[in-house]
Amino acid sequence: MKEITASVITVGTEILFGLILDTNSQFISNALTGIGVRVVLKSSVGDERKKILEMLKYASTKSTLVLITGGLGPTNDDITKKCLSEFFDSPLQMNPGALEEVSAYFAKRGIPLTEINRKQAEMPQLARMITNEMGTAPGMWLEKNGRVFISMPGVPHEMHHMLMTRVIPDIRGKYQTPVIQHKLIMTAGIGESWLAERISGWEKNLPGHISLAYLPGYGQVKLRLTGTSDDAGALQAELNEISNDLGKIIPEYIYGADGLTLEERIGQILTVRQENISLAESCTGGYIGHLLTTVPGSSRYFTGGLIAYHNDIKTGQLAVSEVTLLKYGAVSEETVREMAAGCRKLFNTHYAIATSGIAGPSGGSPEKPVGTIWMAVADESGTVTRKIIIPKDRINTIRYASVASLILFWQRISQKTGTAT
């Protein structure tokens, strides 16, 4: 089986200035590696004709595939398309399919198509259009002398969608690549190093053709098993068996597999039980609500929430006693306990989560430093609480605290006994 190689080129002067972090090329490399394509070069060039042309030429000598992002916007500084036209000696012309899709995009939004956007449907004659479902700049697939050039927009969510739904399937359709399979095991409530210690015996026994990576996130670690083989069926069975073995070692930390998010898992559990939940968010400011509502169909079990930023709302709508607030303060076990109970009553739900903490950068004290977060989960049988201290910046503290609250909730409803976050 012939190895397929790829170069990844990101276009944009702002990348060379260091004004933005190029995350696109990592995303693309990861996806290509996942289908057995070997990335041999990553490069960024500015929005300059000469530099882009030089790089197209260089990359075409290094790999079979050349994937390019950026420079497809409607403004004058976006010149990738012109460069591809020149490089392939293939004049720009209106692509009827692309024009149709750009027009439909605008029609759907009820906005007239401007001349500048109409031009986004122009592409080199030999290019095949790649649909952009997320924006107005179509992608392009160009082939010449056994080399394939794929041009995608630089806006990350547009590129991600186009890559995963169009480009990767088309590459797989064109080339026979060795079988590489991944299996993700989703854990929550245990840190990376503790997890590594707990599963070191299992890790040591992994066969040579299967590797393990730890992908840590907020309070969660994804374990990725990657196997290579010529036999897809046998590899899949092997990966399943190995992940089942792990399930017996750390059942209390595994909530799912294959990219399931914790908020999706929570949604599954609540949907099956026909139960619902409400939120009383102080320091997390609405972010737990955001996490829950990213899941389609969350309206079935998420009734609503109160962002109780000001103390008046804690005492008023959540019925936290003024004595509690005075005696223990807003950031205390007693307060979150009453918030959760009050929230459950206010929204008339089976469960309620409450948070209160100091997100910083100011507002801390020796007893309650910045990053101190109290959280509570109330249900019919009572309320559980947890305190964590998060030594991060404001935004990361808010996001970490939100995930930690969901972990506490998941542990509660699934009777898990883990406590580390």
State the minimum distance, in angstroms, from the CB of residue 22 to a copy of itself: 7
Q: How far apart are CA 249 and CA 108, in angstroms?
A: 51
Select from 122, 281, 334, 379 the one that contacts a copy of itself (CB under 8 A): 281
Residue 45 within binding range of a copy of itself, rule CB under 8 A: yes
Q: Return the range that interacts with a copy of itself (CB under 8 A); candidates 38-46, 143-151, 243-251, 321-329.
A: 38-46
DSSP characters for 171-228?
HHHHS---EEEEEEEEEESS-HHHHHHHTHHHHHT--TTEEEEEEEETTEEEEEEEEE
Residue 43 within binding range of a copy of itself, rule CB under 8 A: yes
Select from 117, 132, 335, 355 the one that contacts a copy of itself (CB under 8 A): 117
Select from 87, 149, 255, 302 the one that contacts a copy of itself (CB under 8 A): 302
State the minimum distance, in angstroms, from the CB of residue 126 to a copy of itself: 27
Select from 362, 381, 415, 417 the one that contacts a copy of itself (CB under 8 A): 362
Calculate the CA dihedral of residues 366, 367, 373, 375 and round it to 10 degrees: 180
Q: Return the range that interacts with a copy of itself (CB under 8 A); candidates 25-33, 247-255, 265-273, 321-329.
A: 25-33
* Closest-CA residue to 326 (of 317, 337, 315): 315
Q: Are the beta carbons of 288 and 305 closer than 8 angstroms?
A: yes
State the minimum distance, in angstroms, from the CB of residue 90 to a copy of itself: 25
The residues, any chain, with a CB within 8 Å of residue 316's CB and separated by 6 or more, are none
State the minimum distance, in angstroms, from the CB of residue 16 to a copy of itself: 4
Tell me how crowded residue 55 is: count the other CB atoms within 10 A of its CB.
22
Residue 165 within binding range of a copy of itself, rule CB under 8 A: no
The residues, any chain, with a CB within 8 Å of residue 221's CB and separated by 6 or more, are 187, 190, 191, 192, 195, 214, 215
Residue 233 within binding range of a copy of itself, rule CB under 8 A: no
* Pick 78 or 379: Cβ nearer a copy of itself: 78
Select from 64, 151, 298, 332 the one that contacts a copy of itself (CB under 8 A): 298
Q: At what angle do helices 49-60 and 80-87 cross, to 10 degrees?
A: 50
Q: Return the range that interacts with a copy of itself (CB under 8 A); candidates 95-103, 247-255, 264-272, 383-391.
A: 383-391
Q: Are the beta carbons of 132 and 101 closer than 8 angstroms?
A: yes
Helix (H, G, I), strand (E, B) or coil at 80: helix
* Token digits of residue 303: 């009734």
Residue 364 within binding range of a copy of itself, rule CB under 8 A: no
The string over 371-393, giving b where at least 16 C-beta atoms fall within 10 Å of a residue's C-beta and e elsewhere, is bbbbbbbbbeeebbbbebebebe
* Pick 126 or 168: Cβ nearer a copy of itself: 168
* Token digits of residue 168: 């990767």
Site string for a copy of itself, 249-278 (x = CB under 8 A): ------------------------------
Q: Where are the beta strands (DSSP E) in 309-359?
A: 351-357
Binders of a copy of itself in range 53-92 (CB under 8 A):
54-55, 58, 62, 73-77
* Pick 91 or 316: Cβ nearer a copy of itself: 316
Residue 210 within binding range of a copy of itself, rule CB under 8 A: no
